[in-house]
Chains A and B, each alone.
Chain A
Amino acid sequence: MTNSFEIDGITVPFSNGQTIMDAALTAGIYIPHLCHNPEFKPHGSCRLCTVLINGRSVAACTTPAGEGIVVENETHELVTQRRLLLKLLFVEGNHTCPGCEKSGACQLQAVAYHCGMLAPEFVHFYPKRSIDASHPDTIIDFNRCILCELCVRASRDSDKKAVFNISGRGIQAHLTIDSPSGKLADSAFNSSDKAARVCPVGAILPKHKGYNIPIGQRLYDQAPISQVGDVAKHQEVADE
Chain B
Amino acid sequence: MIEQRPVTIEQLETAAQPEKLRRIAIEPLTRVEGHGKVTLLLDDENRIQQARLHIVEFRGFEKFIQGRPYWELPVLVQRLCGICPVSHHLAAGKAIDQLVGVEQLTPTAEKVRRLMHYGQMLQSHALHFFHLSSPDLLFGFDSEISQRNIVGLINAHPDLAKQGVLLRKFGQEVIRVTAGKRIHGTCAIPGGVNKALDSSERDYLQQDIHQIITWGQGALELARKLFMEALETNQQFARIDTHMMSLCQDDGALELYHGGLRVTASDGSRMMDKIDYREYDQHIREEVKSWSYMKFPYLQHLGPEKGSYRVGPLARINNCDTIDTPLAEAGRIEFRSLNNQGLVQSTLAYHWARMIELLHCAEKIEQLLDDPDLLGTDLKLSGEMRQRGIGVIEAPRGTLIHDYEIDDDGLVSRANLIVSTTHNNRAMNESVRTVAADLFNGQEITEGMLNHIEVAIRAYDPCLSCATHALGKMPLVIELQQPDGQIVDRLIKDTQGELKR
Contact = CB atoms under 8 A, between A and B. Distances in A.
Contacts of B195: 214, 217
Interface residues of B, number: 24
Given A131-B69, A131-B411, A210-B69, A215 B75 contact: no
Nearest to B185: A215
B122 interface: no
Interface in A117-158: 130-131, 133-134, 139
B88 to A, nearest CB: 12
Nearest to B99: A208
Most buried by B among A131, A134, A210: A210
A99 B76 contact: yes
B184 interface: yes
Interface string B178-194: 01110011110110001
Given A133-B410, A134-B409, A216 B190 contact: no
A208 B410 CA distance: 9
B409 A211 contact: no
Interface string A201-240: 0000001111111111100000000000000000000000
B68 interface: yes
Contacts of A99: 72, 75-76, 79
B182 to A, nearest CB: 11
A216 B180 contact: yes
Nearest to A141: B69
B67 interface: yes
Interface string A84-106: 00000000000000110100000
Given A133-B410, A211-B194, A101 B71 contact: yes
B180 A214 contact: yes
A181 B287 CA distance: 43
Classify the interface of chain A: helix, strand, loop or mixed: loop
B438 to A, nearest CB: 45
Interface in B187-240: 187, 189-190, 194-195
Contact of B69 (A98, A139, A213, A214): A139
Interface residues of A, number: 19
Contacts of A208: 71, 100, 190, 410
Contact of A207 (B68, B75, B181, B410): B410
A2 to B, nearest CB: 45
Given A208-B190, A211-B186, A215-B185, A101 B72 contact: yes
Contacts of B68: 131
Given A131-B67, A131-B69, A211 B79 contact: no
B497 to A, nearest CB: 33
A214 B194 contact: yes
Contact of A212 (B67, B74, B184, B194): B194
A215 B193 CA distance: 12
A133 B406 CA distance: 12
Given A98-B79, A215-B186, A210 B72 contact: yes
A207 B382 CA distance: 14
A133 B189 contact: no
B79 A215 contact: no
Nearest to A135: B409
Nearest to B194: A214
Contacts of B189: 210-212
A23 B115 CA distance: 50
Interface string B60-75: 0000000111011011
Most buried by B among A130, A207, A215: A215
A213 B189 CA distance: 10
Interface string B16-30: 000000000000000
A101 B480 CA distance: 51
Contacts of A213: 194
A214 B75 contact: no
B378 to A, nearest CB: 15
A209 B409 CA distance: 14
A35 B270 CA distance: 65
Nearest to A211: B186
Contact of B181 (A133, A210, A215): A215
Contact of A211 (B67, B71, B100, B411): B71
A44 B186 CA distance: 36
Most buried by A among B100, B185, B189, B411: B189
B184 A98 contact: yes
A133 B180 contact: no
Contacts of B185: 215
A99 B185 CA distance: 10
Interface in A10-47: none
B194 A133 contact: no
A196 to B, nearest CB: 16
A191 B180 CA distance: 30
B69 A133 contact: yes
A1 B74 CA distance: 59
B414 to A, nearest CB: 16
B191 to A, nearest CB: 10
16 contacts: A99-B76, A101-B72, A101-B75, A131-B67, A131-B411, A133-B69, A133-B409, A133-B410, A133-B411, A207-B410, A208-B71, A208-B410, A210-B71, A210-B72, A214-B180, A214-B194
Given A211-B186, A213-B194, A217-B195, 6 more contacts: A139-B69, A139-B410, A208-B190, A210-B75, A214-B195, A215-B180
Q: Lowest 3 A-B CB distances belong to which pairs?
A: A215-B180, A133-B409, A214-B195
